[in-house]
């Protein structure tokens, strides 16, 4: 089992724990609201309605979070793709670019004349073929880096999400422990609203970071995909040049 699988398994357990812990808090608040003297009913009824509405919204929120959690991404596959591009494609192409010379291609005194001289021009270090190979290797490397950026954006987001979830659970537990009388009901309600708002802000900040990183990666993909303007007429250079 990978580290990411362990992380997601832990988050899944936290989500289950949060729902049960919040249900416990809801029952305790409702218990104390029922204990309020009737004489205070005009004051308490609006609070009850607001609390019920808040709990309904929280239930929808947990459902949305659960649905979102089911589509968590796969950093492992991103890592594998980035590593394949870097190790098996970029490295190999770079090595071949260095060998693409007249010496390596054995253009020597056995072949003379205009055709030989024209072919040598193709194999010079600054010639179109060599330049194209180096550019291709550079493109592959940039794509590999972008894939790794996406991978780490996912991992960092889920770590931040799990951290925010753990903090929220701890604060809900603290709210339950502090709710020991009718007098503490309203402060507990306000406190709960505040900590859930704080949780949402933390998740939103982590999501904004992940979106920013992935947007940069998408920009890299587009740039590299359109980056053939350095090639003659936007096409791979020919393997030979005209002798005249």
Q: Average pLDDT over the chain, rounded to whole?
A: 81
Confidence (pLDDT) at 204: 94
Confidence (pLDDT) at 85: 83
- Asked whether residue 240 carries a pLDDT value surpassing 60, the answer given is no
Distance of CA 214 to the CA centre of its chain: 6
Q: Once rounded to an integer, what is the mean pLDDT over residues 234-241?
A: 58
- Asked whether residue 125 carries a pLDDT value surpassing 70, the answer given is no
Confidence (pLDDT) at 121: 65
pLDDT tens for residues 193-215?
999 999 999 999 999 999 999 99
Q: Once rounded to an integer, what is the mean pLDDT over residues 90-100?
A: 65
First to last CA, the chain: 64
Higher pLDDT, 116 or 196: 196
pLDDT tens for residues 128-152?
666 677 777 778 888 889 999 999 9
Confidence (pLDDT) at 211: 93
Confidence band, pLDDT 50/70/90 cuts, at residue 242: very low
Is the distance from CB of 185 to CB of 32 less than 8 angstroms? yes
Confidence band, pLDDT 50/70/90 cuts, at residue 33: confident
Task: Tell me how far CA of residue 127 lies from CA of 90, 121, 179, in angstroms.
Answer: 20, 6, 78
Confidence (pLDDT) at 10: 92
Confidence (pLDDT) at 160: 95
Task: Extract the tokens encoding 189.
Answer: 């309600």
Higher pLDDT, 223 or 229: 223
pTM: 0.76
Confidence band, pLDDT 50/70/90 cuts, at residue 165: very high
> Residue 48: which of 180, 177, 185, 145 has the closest Cα?
185
- Asked whether residue 32 carries a pLDDT value surpassing 70, the answer given is yes
């Amino acid at each position: 089992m990978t580290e990411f699988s362990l992380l997601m398994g832990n988050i899944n357990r936290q989500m289950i724990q949060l729902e049960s812990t919040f249900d416990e808090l809801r029952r305790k608040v409702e218990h104390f609201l029922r204990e309020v003297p009737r004489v205070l009913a005009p004051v308490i009824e609006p609070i009850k309605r607001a609390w019920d509405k808040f709990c309904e919204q929280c239930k929808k929120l947990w459902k949305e979070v659960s649905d979102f959690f089911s589509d968590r991404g796969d950093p492992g596959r991103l890592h594998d793709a980035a590593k394949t591009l870097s190790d098996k494609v970029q490295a190999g192409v770079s090595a071949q670019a260095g060998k693409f010379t007249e010496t390596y291609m054995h253009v020597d005194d056995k072949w003379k004349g205009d055709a030989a001289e024209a072919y040598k021009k193709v194999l010079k270090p600054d010639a179109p073929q060599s330049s194209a190979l180096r550019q291709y290797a550079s493109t592959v490397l940039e794509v590999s880096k972008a894939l790794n950026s996406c991978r780490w954006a996912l991992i960092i987001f889920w770590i931040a999400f799990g951290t925010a979830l753990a903090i929220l659970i701890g604060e809900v537990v603290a709210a339950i422990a502090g709710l020991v009388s009718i007098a503490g009901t309203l402060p507990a309600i306000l406190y709960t609203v505040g900590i859930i708002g704080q949780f949402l802000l933390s998740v939103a900040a982590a999501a904004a970071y992940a979106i920013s990183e992935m947007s940069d990666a998408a920009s890299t993909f587009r740039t590299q995909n359109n980056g053939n303007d350095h090639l003659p007429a936007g096409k791979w250079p020919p393997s030979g040049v005209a002798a005249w």
